[in-house]
Amino acid sequence: MSELHKFLFEGLPVRGMLVRLTDSWQEVLRRHAESGAYPSAVTGLLGEMSAAAVLMQGNIKFNGSLVLQIMGDGPLKLAVAEVQPNFGFRATATVTGEVADGVPLSQMVNVNNQGRCAITLDPQDRLPGQQPYQGVVPLYGDRREMLESLHEVLEHYMLQSEQLDTRLVLAANDQIAAGLLIQRLPSTGEANLSGTAAAQAREDAIGQSEDYNRIAMLAASLQREELLTLDADTILHRLFWQEPLQRFVPAEGLVRPRFSCTCSRERVGRMLHGLGVAEVESILSERGEVEVGCEFCGAKYRFDPVDAAQIFLSQPQQPPASDRLQ
């Protein structure tokens, strides 16, 4: 069963999370298998993105979906992992060319250094016209050097956007997607400041916590193979047996992420409404019906001319921006 463990280090400004997606991750792959399995390097990246997105959703107090996307200029065009506040998640990737086994991030999605990583927070109770929050970073580092692993991209993002030291270890295969996150907590002094003063204090504190540096180094010693094969207790004990690690009691601290798709006939209807009546009528005249498949779960939604007419009668308003094609 999939699991997300939260923990902290007593008296130290460091917290952590460990995620293991097993049954839920296998379900993501099973749903996609009908239209052809992903190349193994893409499976690895998409699994790491799913684990990372669950960790990031677990790391924020936010009532809405967290969407992690990588858009690129290689054979992998787009990869998406989306996690709801209840840790239901879904993921999909669009591959248009050959991806050899074991290739790094750049060869999949950043051939000309034009790839991007976007993190979107879309509030559940968003007001009409309100835009979701989105942060976008390139897939290169401070000297424009290509970053070859997802964990580097996300650590860079966290540092730039949140001014928080973060260490991530991620690994995935076709059975399990797993991740370990270690993050420095803002000190109480920083928390009491507001606005630019707080940002400056966080900036000053980057890399300065010895406790964080030591624990992050221990975390980074975790091998991918260990992360993929060992259970949570064993991993945490091996890495941190000398540290004052405190697990949250299971009732609060252990959640079970699961595969869950948020697509619905209503959302597809809104998307078709957004396409416009002319476009939909042209598809109808060509094929007799409009069929939209969900990229995440494989569900098929069919609209005949009567259904389609209904869409334009009953939905006069503009669709919200979050209604993506899926």
Judged by CB under 5 A, the stretch of 77-85, 192-200, 259-267, 280-288 that binds Zn ion is: 259-267
- The answer to the question of residue 227 lying near Zn ion (CB under 5 A) is no
Closest separation in Å from C-beta 293 to Zn ion: 9
Q: Does 205 help bind Zn ion (rule: CB under 5 A)?
A: no
Residue with Cβ nearer Zn ion (92 or 110): 92
Q: Count residues binding Zn ion (CB under 5 A).
A: 6
Phi-psi region of 255 (alpha: psi -120 to 50; beta: other; left: phi over 0): beta
**Residue 263 engages Zn ion in binding (rule: CB under 5 A):** yes
Nearest distance from C-beta of residue 298 to Zn ion, angstroms:
7
Cβ 300 to Zn ion shortest distance, Å: 10
The nearer residue to Zn ion, 87 or 296, going by C-beta atoms, is 296
Does the protein bind Zn ion through residue 80 (CB under 5 A)? no
Residues 264-323 that bind Zn ion (CB under 5 A): 294, 296-297, 299
Shortest Å, Cβ 80 to Zn ion: 12
| Residues at the site binding Zn ion, with contacts judged by CB under 5 A | 261, 263, 294, 296-297, 299
